[in-house]
Structure 1
Amino acid sequence: MKQLAQKQRGLTLISLVLVLALIGFFTLLVLKIGPIYLNHSKVTNALAALEQTTDVETKSKYEIETILDKRFNLNYVEHVDKDDIKISKHGNYLKVEIEYERIEPIMGNLSVLVDFYEKIEVGNE
């Protein structure tokens, strides 16, 4: 009888269900959080493109907002409002900051909060 117990190996039904539940939870987490970071990469690319724009430090705040708005619309950027964008301009110095947060509900009362902050500085102070 002792020899039979030593040969038995493997997962029980309960442990198999627990492992599948963990795999399912982390898959759900990746599927919910992945698009948030994909959207943020689009914001980062728009800021990098703005930084590469010629004579961007001579443009007005309205022109910079228009450039960013066009890039955001072109790339389908979501969850970034005009209130999240701060533009500071002093002579030939330009600083653009984008700070926003995203709350994504996972299930029930479980949500994930992600904060983002990006900035570029162009020109001389």
Structure 2
Amino acid sequence: MNLSPKRQQGLTLISIAFILGLIAFFVLLVLKIAPIYIDHSKVVNALAALEETVDIQTKSEQEARSILNKRFTMNYVYDVTKDDIKVTKRGNYIKVEIEYETVVKIFGNLSVLAEFYDFIEVGQE
């Protein structure tokens, strides 16, 4: 029984394996990278909450750091260290900057580096 090539349809086993491999790779990337951005949203929310704190511009640098550290602990944010937080205080003006990076190993020697920089300014210089 000879079938003409025009009537043969479908994927070969190799093409199915290749497509499944691509899908698996992209699912792995999403599962590894999504938590980085979820944690970053927690950092942004902590900064927004700090900005909304009553009389934040009258608080000292240590008090601002303490408020941030409490929020980070409550939200399980471990990527930001105390060295990543810079607080500038002048009179009734306060600026809080957070600059940090996160490295996540994908597999083997392949890693993803994400760098973040966020800041708030409250009050007037």
TM over 0.5: yes
Q: Using the alignment, how far apart are the partners of 2:9 and 2:98 within structure 1?
A: 55
Give structure 1 stretches of 5+ with no counterpart: none
> How far does residue 9 in structure 1 lie from its aligned partner after superposition?
1.2
Aligned to 2:87: 87
Q: Using the alignment, how far apart are the partners of 2:109 and 2:6 within structure 1?
A: 44
Q: Using the alignment, how far apart are the partners of 2:35 and 2:84 within structure 1?
A: 19
Q: 1:7 to 1:54 in 2, by over 3 A?
A: same
Per the alignment, in what secondary structure is the counterpart of residue 27 of structure 1? Answer: helix
Task: Output the amino acid matched with 1:83.
Answer: D
Q: Using the alignment, how far apart are the partners of 1:26 and 1:67 within structure 2?
A: 38
> How far does residue 78 in structure 1 lie from its aligned partner after superposition?
1.5
Per the alignment, in what secondary structure is the counterpart of residue 79 of structure 1? Answer: coil
> How far does residue 69 in structure 1 lie from its aligned partner after superposition?
0.6
Give structure 2 stretches of 5+ with no counterpart: none
> After superposition, where does 1:4-23 map in structure 2 within 5 Å?
4-23=4-23
Moved more, 8-17 or 24-33: 8-17
Identity percentage of aligned residues: 62
Count, aligned residues? 125
More helix by share: 1
Per the alignment, in what secondary structure is the counterpart of residue 70 of structure 1? Answer: helix
Task: Output the amino acid matched with 1:64.
Answer: A
> How far does residue 2 in structure 1 lie from its aligned partner after superposition?
8.9
